[in-house]
Amino acid sequence: MAFHFYEPAKGHGLPHDPFKSIIAPRPIGWVSSVDAQGQRNLAPYSFFNAISADPPMLAFSSYGYKDSVRNIEATGEFVWNLASRNLAAAMNQTSASVAAEIDEFELAGLTPVAGAVVAAPRVAEASVAFECRLSQVVRLRTAAGGQTNNWLTIGEVVGVHIDERLLVDGIFDTVAAAPIMRAGGPADYFGIDSDDRFQMKRPG
């Protein structure tokens, strides 16, 4: 095999950063929050995932100290909303760079619903939402110890909303939920299809 090798600090020499395509697909951290005055914010983050099951925790990374991170540090709360295929256009609309006073719920035609245990609202149209309390915000450092402009926000899930239609015999139906994920080129997304499902039990 012939390999394309590069050192990231020196550039990849390709039309699009392959790192973002190889670590893929990446679930979307569609994060809603409020600031100290109650101003709503809703934004998607493609560097996102679950990081713990007990207690349930998730994390997203923001390039730049954006409104989401600022709000969450100020209030200690946020909500993750499932970005599904039917909400793709609305989710994309909330990625626009707008002033802090702009309400992305209104911008994207979405309905805010008060959280059950946190002050941050969830997206009513989303079939799943995790209410979270802040665990920590970490400014990422390079291997050499230098500061980056990337901020990792970690939250503990303290409330879960699931559309009951997605529970089949008590099991969450991932295919029916139709989550979308970020990957590939500059504008590529992926979905999940039942034809791609396979089962494999752990040994022992």
pLDDT of residue 201: 94
Task: Please give the DSSP secondary-structure letter assigned to residue 155.
Answer: E
CA distance 108 to 50: 26
Residue in 12, 19, 21, 48 with CA at minimum distance from that of residue 185: 21
Q: Please state the rounded mean pLDDT for residues 136-165.
A: 98
Yes or no: say if 120 and 78 are a contact pair by the CB < 8 Å rule: yes
What does pTM read for this prediction? 0.95
DSSP code string of 38-83: --EEEEEESSEEEEEETTEEEEEEEESS-HHHHHHHHHSEEEEE--
111-120, 141-150, 172-181, 189-198: the lowest-pLDDT one: 189-198
pLDDT for 64 equals 97
Query: Mean of the pLDDT values across residues 165-174?
Result: 97
Q: How many CB atoms lie within 10 A of CB 88?
A: 15
Cα distances from 192 to residues 18, 25, 43, 103, 155, in angstroms, run 22, 10, 22, 30, 26
Q: Which option is the CATH number for 24-192: 2.30.110.10, 3.40.50.10140, 3.20.20.480, 2.40.37.10? A: 2.30.110.10
Distance (Å, whole) CA 157 – CA 135 = 10
Confidence class for position 74, pLDDT limits 50, 70, 90 = very high
Residues 146 and 9: beta-carbon distance below 8 Å = no
Helix, strand, coil percentages for the chain (3-state, nearest 5): 20, 40, 45
pLDDT at 204: 85
Specify the pLDDT at position 183.
86
Confidence of residue 185 (pLDDT cuts 50, 70, 90): confident
Each domain of the chain, given as residue ranges in start order, spans: 24-192
Q: Is the pLDDT of residue 184 over 80?
A: no
Angle at 83 (CA atoms; ends 170, 201), nearest 5 degrees: 45
Name the least confident of 35-39, 67-71, 93-97, 181-185.
181-185
136 phi and psi angles, rounded to 5 deg = -165, 155
Q: Which amino acid is at 7?
A: E
Least confident among 23-27, 36-40, 181-185, 193-197:
181-185
Residue 186 pLDDT class (50, 70, 90 cuts): confident
